[in-house]
């Protein structure tokens, strides 16, 4: 793995990191934690290993983990009270936990929250893990606000390929230890305030379709009552396949408020027009 891959992640990113052995996992986590130290972010790790085991592993991979834990910059959570409640996966509770931790991190003066979710536990017989896909898609609501980022660790030895592929589609971006130095997160989704709406950066295709769908729905739900047009800014969207274009047009045509799609490339304008969009002053509505 090229270390610069991890360094390119930034607040708002939600990446599915798949791996085949523990050394690959630890190399990614160590790089991610050290990058968080350099950028003065709080770091939250939740998985099924004990806090003592994680501290030792990180120390052995060049992270001053014990000192970080003593200062509170590194926080190690357990499954129960983290992903699990009474031994069952509780996705709503987890999403609430992330929101609370973001608030705490910002209130403590950190630049943001850098989360690590070690999902190996979900490869076993834990009740309610059929909701894992729903959870990962819903988590994009949290990250699109731009104050937190997450590296979700999925061990390919523990997940059936078809299930893992579906889980990956709920993430805007996917990477693994073979990813080279040219990699960037495939899709970034950023909520905007002026004008209110959503900015898409990168590429939208089958690999991140569910992440895009749930984030679009969230933006429309949140902003429909403001009385102002909702803007979908696509100036930095390099590519959108036909299915992604249909999602964009579906959001525009079903939202209670008026929706403007701006910054479209010429190919995307043509595609949106074929789907029923109308061009007004360079924008599709």
Say if 180 falls within a structural domain. Answer: no
**pLDDT for the residue numbered 221:** 87
| Residue with tokens 């902003």, as numbered in its chain | 223
**Which tokens hold the place of 34?**
């050290």
Chain segment 52-107, per-residue pLDDT in tens: 999 999 999 999 999 999 999 999 998 898 999 999 999 999 999 999 999 999 99
**Which tokens hold the place of 225?**
């009552």
How distant is the alpha carbon of residue 253 from its chain centre? 26
Helix (H) or strand (E) holding 231: strand 230-240
Say yes or no: 191 and 264 in one domain. Answer: yes
How distant is the alpha carbon of residue 163 from its chain centre? 18
Last residue of a domain, one of 153, 175, 197: 175
Tell me the Ramachandran region of residue 138: left when phi exceeds 0, alpha when psi lies from -120 to 50, beta otherwise. alpha
Count of alpha carbons within 13 angstroms of residue 54, beta-carbon side: 23
**pLDDT for the residue numbered 3:** 62
Say yes or no: 171 and 219 in one domain. Answer: no
Chain segment 235-247, per-residue pLDDT in tens: 999 999 999 999 9
CA gap 34, 65 in Å, rounded:
9
CA gap 257, 91 in Å, rounded:
30
Average per-residue pLDDT for the chain: 91
Which residues have a Cβ under 8 Å from the Cβ of 261 and sit 6 or more positions away? 231, 232, 234, 248, 252, 272, 277, 283, 284, 285
**pLDDT for the residue numbered 47:** 92
Say if 21 falls within a structural domain. Answer: yes
Backbone angles phi, psi at 194, to 5 degrees: -130, 100
Say if 182 falls within a structural domain. Answer: no
Say yes or no: 34 and 156 in one domain. Answer: yes
Say yes or no: 33 and 158 in one domain. Answer: yes
Confidence at 275, pLDDT banded by 50, 70, 90: confident
Chain segment 14-27, per-residue pLDDT in tens: 999 999 999 999 99
User: What's the CATH code of the domain at 227?
Assistant: 3.30.750.24
Bridge-based pairing state of the strands 113-118 and 42-46: parallel
CA gap 144, 137 in Å, rounded:
12
Say if 171 falls within a structural domain. Answer: yes
Say yes or no: 103 and 205 in one domain. Answer: no
Give the least confident one: 56-65, 178-187, 250-259.
Answer: 250-259
- Check residues 257 and 280 and name the one with the higher pLDDT: 257
Chain segment 192-233, per-residue pLDDT in tens: 988 899 999 999 999 999 999 999 998 988 877 667 788 999
Would the pLDDT of 280 be above 60?
A: no
Say if 181 falls within a structural domain. Answer: no
N-term to C-term CA, the chain:
43
Chain segment 127-167, per-residue pLDDT in tens: 999 999 999 999 999 999 999 999 999 999 999 999 999 99
Q: What is the DSSP letter of 192?
A: E
Say yes or no: 90 and 128 in one domain. Answer: yes
Domain total of the chain = 2
CA gap 145, 189 in Å, rounded:
9
Burial class of 130 by CB neighbour count within 10 A (0 to 12, 13 to 18, 19+): exposed
| Residue with tokens 């429309």, as numbered in its chain | 220
Say yes or no: 138 and 264 in one domain. Answer: no
Confidence at 1, pLDDT banded by 50, 70, 90: low
**Which DSSP string corresponds to 59-105?**
HHTT--HHHHHHHTSEEEE-SBTTTEETTEE-HHHHHHHHHHHHHHH
CA gap 169, 27 in Å, rounded:
24
Domain extent, residue 73, equals: 3-175
Say yes or no: 112 and 253 in one domain. Answer: no
Last residue of a domain, one of 175, 197, 214: 175
User: What's the CATH code of the domain at 142?
Assistant: 3.40.50.300
Residue 159: how many CB atoms within 10 A of its CB? Answer: 20
**pLDDT for the residue numbered 283:** 56
**In contact, 46 and 116? CB cutoff 8 Å:** yes
């Amino acid at each position: 793995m090229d270390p610069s891959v991890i360094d390119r992640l930034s607040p708002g990113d939600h990446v599915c990191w798949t791996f085949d052995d523990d050394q690959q996992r630890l190399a990614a986590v160590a790089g991610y934690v050290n990058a968080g130290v350099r950028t003065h972010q709080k770091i939250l790790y939740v998985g099924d290993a004990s806090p003592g085991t994680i501290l030792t592993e990180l120390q052995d991979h060049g992270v001053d983990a014990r000192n970080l834990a003593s200062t509170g910059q590194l926080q190690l959570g357990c499954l129960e009270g983290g992903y699990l409640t009474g031994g069952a996966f509780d996705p709503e509770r987890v999403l609430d936990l992330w929101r609370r931790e973001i608030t705490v991190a910002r209130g403590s003066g950190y630049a943001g929250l850098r989360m690590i979710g070690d999902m190996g536990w979900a490869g076993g017989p834990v009740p309610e893990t059929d909701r894992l896909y729903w959870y990962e898609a819903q988590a994009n609501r949290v990250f699109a606000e731009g104050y937190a980022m997450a590296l979700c660790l999925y061990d390919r030895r523990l997940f059936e390929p078809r299930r893992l592929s579906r889980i990956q589609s709920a993430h805007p971006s996917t990477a693994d230890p073979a990813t080279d130095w040219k990699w960037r997160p495939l899709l970034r989704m950023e909520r905007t305030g002026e004008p209110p709406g959503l900015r898409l950066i990168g590429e939208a295709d089958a690999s991140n379709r569910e992440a895009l769908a749930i984030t679009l729905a969230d933006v429309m739900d949140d902003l429909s009552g403001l009385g102002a047009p909702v803007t979908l800014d696509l100036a930095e969207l390099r590519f959108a396949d036909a299915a992604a274009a249909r999602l964009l047009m579906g959001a525009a045509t079903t939202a209670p408020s008026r929706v403007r799609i701006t910054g479209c490339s010429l190919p995307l304008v043509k595609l949106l027009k074929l789907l029923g969009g109308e061009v007004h002053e360079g924008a599709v509505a």
